[in-house]
Copies of this chain bind each other. A is one copy, B any other.
């Protein structure tokens, strides 16, 4: 029998996602890193205009470029960079706000784990007048702690719905 998505579980996981988003919006990056598993896979591929049909299958597979192709080690490097006090792209820091919606749980193939899909709107305001609007979808693989007390993110698959990226850089996290 497949595990039920109860309101309690939905609420528990949404609170986890919202708390994670708040850590990023507050620039509490070390605490954020603590939410991921050691074997984290963190991917944000590039989108292209490469198929003609609005109906049916997704774009043909093939070699892909990525904005992020990271693991816990490299995500940690990115945080270390911000901690040096010389990461100009974030000095002063971007004002970010992450809106998480359409949170949809489906049981993962491993008992107790869940694939959590959502859509995100990542708003960035920088310096005097720069504004970036980054929107896409996300699927997180949530794995319970050994002691089952709380969740960890084992995998994050993102999309960013833009052909040519309209932001001058991606100095923030998704």
Chain A residues engaging chain B, CB cutoff 8 angstroms: 5-8, 10-11, 15, 18-19, 21-22, 25-30, 47, 49-56, 58, 79, 82-83, 85, 87, 90-104, 117, 119, 121, 123, 125-129, 131, 133, 135-137, 161-164, 166
User: What is the oligomeric copy number?
Assistant: 3
Asked if residues B79 and A55 are in contact (CB atoms below 8 Å), the reply is yes
Asked if residues A95 and B47 are in contact (CB atoms below 8 Å), the reply is yes
Q: Told that A123-B135, A125-B135, A129-B166 touch, could you supply 7 new A-B pairs with CB distance under 8 A?
A: A18-B104, A26-B58, A53-B91, A53-B93, A54-B87, A121-B123, A133-B133
Asked if residues B7 and A162 are in contact (CB atoms below 8 Å), the reply is no
What would 17 A/B residue contacts be, using CB atoms closer than 8 Å? A5-B15, A7-B11, A18-B103, A18-B104, A19-B104, A21-B119, A26-B58, A30-B55, A47-B95, A47-B125, A52-B85, A53-B82, A53-B93, A54-B93, A97-B137, A101-B101, A123-B161
Closest Cβ neighbor of A171 among chain B residues: B54
Contact partners of A121 in chain B: CB under 8 A: 99, 121, 123
Contact partners of A10 in chain B: CB under 8 A: 7, 11
Asked if residues A92 and B56 are in contact (CB atoms below 8 Å), the reply is no
Asked if residues A22 and B128 are in contact (CB atoms below 8 Å), the reply is no
